[in-house]
Amino acid sequence: MTNFPPTGGRPPRTPATYIYSSGRDAAEDYTEQVLSAVEAIPVGQVATYGDIAALIGRGGPRQVGEVMSRHGAAVPWWRVVRADGQPARGHTERALARLREEGTPLRGDRVDLLRARISSEHAR
């Protein structure tokens, strides 16, 4: 007899399973929460994918990235960066141009997170 799943409970959850497991309404709610959080990032500041997930209180950076890749065109997507300060892959030049226009502090091809990252007090 096989002990599956090896974790002893349920099968491992993928990012999509985590977001969508509660049904369509939960997925739409999560998407709206991510997009609302991104819209609230002030001009000249940024948040990481992990910051957005922590603010919402569920999911993680990958789930936020999934939402942004599918629905982020209507919000200031360039204000969400990777944990190392780099913009999303495939959009680096466009994102850096917009960040420069907004006066966001940069260090080369990365955002200076010490100076530009939103504070936890502002996010709440």
Rounded to whole angstroms, the maximal C-alpha distance in the chain is: 62
Token pair of 42 as six digits: 């002030």
Q: Which residues have C-beta within 8 Å of that of residue 84, sequence separation ≥ 6?
A: 110
Q: Which helix (H) or strand (E) holds 51?
A: helix 49-56
> What integer is the mean pLDDT of 15-26?
56
Residues of the chain with pLDDT > 70, as a percent, come to: 77
> What pLDDT does 119 receive?
84
Per-residue pLDDT at 96 exceeds 90: yes
Per-residue pLDDT at 87 exceeds 90: yes
Query: Taking Cα atoms as reference points, which of 104, 124, 100 lies closest to residue 114?
Result: 104
pLDDT one-digit tens code per residue, 107-123: 999 999 999 999 865 55
Per-residue pLDDT at 10 exceeds 70: no
> What pLDDT does 7 receive?
42
Pick one of 1.20.120.80, 3.40.50.12780, 3.40.50.720, 1.10.10.10 as the CATH number of 15-112: 1.10.10.10
Q: Is the peptide bond before 5 cis (omega within 30 degrees of 0)?
A: yes
Question: CA-CA distance, 93 to 119, in Å (whole number)?
Answer: 26
> What integer is the mean pLDDT of 29-47?
96
